[in-house]
Chain A
Amino acid sequence: MAQMWITMGPQHPMTHGLWTLRVKVDGETVVDTEAELGYIHRGVEKICESRNFTQVTPYCDRLCYVSAMTWANSYIYAAEDLLEAEVPERAEYIRLISAELQRLASHLMWLGAFGPDIGNLTLMTWCMRDREMFLDLLQELGGSRMHYNYPRIGGVKRDIPIGFADRMIAKVKLFEHRIDEYEMMLDESTIWLVRLQGVGYANAEEMVEAGVSGPNVRAAGVNYDVRWAHPYSVYDEVDWEPAVEKPTSVKGADCYDRYRVRMEEMRQSCRMVLDAIEKIPGGKNTNYANGDEMIFQKAPTRAPEGATGFSNYECTRGASQFYIQGGGEGRGKNPYRLSIRSPMFITIPFVAKTMIGYKVADIPAIMGSFDPCIGETDR
Chain B
Amino acid sequence: MGTTVTLSQNEAAAEECLAAINSRFSGSGVVASVERHSNAKKYAFVRITTPAQHWQALAKWMRFDLGANYCSMITGTHFPEGPPERGWEVAYHFLRQPITNQIPNTQTVYVAEKLDGLLIPMEFEVLIPLENNDSPTVPTVQHIWGGADWNEKETWDLVGIKFEGHKNMHRVLNPHDSPEGFHPLQKQHKIRYHEHNEMYDDAQGFGRKTTDEGRVK
Contact = CB atoms under 8 A, between A and B. Distances in A.
B199 interface: no
Given A38-B172, A38-B173, A222 B39 contact: no
A365 interface: no
B101 A336 contact: no
A224 B97 contact: yes
A232 B39 contact: yes
Interface in B163-203: 171-175, 184-185, 189, 191
Nearest to A223: B109
Contacts of B1: 236-239
Interface stretch (B14-22, B54-62, B128-136, B146-154): B146-154
A240 B2 contact: yes
A309 B146 CA distance: 25
A150 interface: no
Interface in B67-86: 69-73, 75, 77-78
B210 interface: no
A261 to B, nearest CB: 11
B215 interface: no
Interface residues of A, number: 72
Interface in A188-208: 203-206, 208
B193 to A, nearest CB: 12
A356 B65 CA distance: 32
Interface stretch (A61-69, A129-137, A242-250): A242-250
Contacts of B8: none
A336 B75 CA distance: 12
Contact of A81 (B39, B91, B100, B185): B39
Contacts of B77: 325, 336-337
A45 B158 contact: yes
A41 B173 contact: yes
A244 B100 CA distance: 14
Contacts of B106: 221, 246
Contact of A230 (B43, B101, B109, B148): B43
Contact of B2 (A209, A224, A239): A239
B118 to A, nearest CB: 14
B41 interface: yes
A80 B2 contact: no
Given A230-B121, A236-B4, A208 B40 contact: no
A229 B119 CA distance: 10
A21 interface: no
Interface in A24-50: 37-38, 41, 43, 45-47, 49-50
Given A221-B106, A223-B108, 7 more contacts: A206-B146, A222-B110, A240-B2, A247-B102, A308-B91, A341-B73, A341-B151
15 contacts: A38-B172, A45-B158, A85-B39, A211-B147, A217-B99, A221-B108, A222-B108, A224-B97, A228-B2, A229-B5, A239-B1, A244-B107, A246-B105, A308-B91, A349-B150
